[in-house]
Structure 1
Amino acid sequence: MIGVSDGDTLTVLSKGHPVKVRLANIDAPEKKQPFGARSKQSLSDLCFGRDATLDSGKQDRYGRTVAVVHCGDVNANVAQVRKGMAWVYPQYNHDPSLPAIEAAARNSRVGLWSERDPLEPWLFRKERKARSSYLN
């Protein structure tokens, strides 16, 4: 693993070439949201300097590989949700174990769940897009 963009995106080196990877099934806070920087740091702590194994097969509309990422023996996608550093992304989730892991993190008020009313990143992006098109 060679770099972390945010709490659900990292870059790995594959056959000598950098590959941008979006963690499947989850959505982490945007950089300008509460816990955005902490989520990025969390993913970095989990993966930086470790070998990463990707369970994937898809690319998203931005050309990123969408994958379940194992850093060492840790499933980074699950770990981010368990630590309260990401939401399960209902629209794209294919892991039936994740909603219960998110519920446990919520109930324990860890990470972003310690905030009063955390805003899902997909709603944050939608609001930001609506605001920018209103201003233009």
Structure 2
Amino acid sequence: MKQHQTNSNKVFAYLKNGIKQKVKTQKLPLVTFFLFIIVFICSFLWSNGPLPNVTVDYNLAKEEMYHCTLHRIIDGDTVVANCPLKNPKLVNIRIWGMDAPETNQIPWGEKATNALNRIFLMNKHDIITILIRDIDQYNRYVGQIFINNKEIDVGLQMVSEGFAVVYKQYNNDPQYLYHEDLAKSHKKGIWQHPGPQQNPAAWRKVNPF
């Protein structure tokens, strides 16, 4: 973010100085000069990628169910979906009820992401059902995701396979807690060895993004 802002400041300073020079010398017609500016800005944005933190101005209602399609998986507990089917737009969905190791928690973050990929690939997920629960501090929708006509709760499946913990701050569902205890007792996934992967929230506090 900081590097992107520095580059942007340099570009706009350059343009500002350029405008002053062209106005003084009047060597270029006004239309030609502004065309030059537009091309320069487009070239800059193309080489540096889209601006960060771009959000979609689209509202999904809390406690409502939506039929969507999966666009891509970001990490072990976040996906991008097209919602709803009738008027699809890209939205970030933080999976409700569970917390997976972060990508930088090597190798557990990658393992959690792979596990989430596998859950979607092993089941029919052309259409997924999302129950919107909340909106988090990063402006992501928090949703409970179901596949196979609501037969499989994706978050619960991640907990059951041992690649996520129950996010007890927001979820006290007995079924989730039961399956977490089973995963612990069978030493599945993150429960194979003690470590910070067993408490991603605590790890984030000492390893801020």
**TM > 0.5 fold call:** yes
1:94 Cα deviation from its structure 2 partner: 4.2
Q: CA deviation at 1:60?
A: 1.2
Q: Is residue 2:170 matched to residue 1:98? A: no
Who wins on radius of gyration, i.e. which is larger? 2
What is the correspondence of 1:49-88 to structure 2 with a 5 Å cutoff? 50=125, 51-72=127-148, 73-88=151-166
1:42 maps onto 2:115 in alignment: yes
Give 2:44's aligned residue.
none
Provide the TM-score with structure 1 as the length reference.
0.87
If asked which structure has higher relative contact order (CA below 8 Å, sep 6+), I would say 1
Runs in 1 of length 4+ with deviation above 2 angstroms?
116-119
Q: CA RMSD in A?
A: 1.7
Do the aligned partners of 1:7 and 1:36 also contact (CA within 8 Å) in 2? yes
* More strand, by proportion: 1
Query: Runs of 5+ in structure 1 lacking a partner?
Result: none
- How far apart, CA to CA, are the structure 2 residues paired with 1:12 and 1:65? 11
> Which deviations, in whole Å up to 9, do the C-alpha atoms of 1:72-127 show, x marking residues without a partner?
23210100000001000111114232111101000000111112334411111011
Amino acid at match of 1:63: N
Report the count of equivalent residues.
130
Aligned to 1:21: 93
Identical positions, percent:
28
Structure 2 unmatched ranges of 5 or more: 1-69
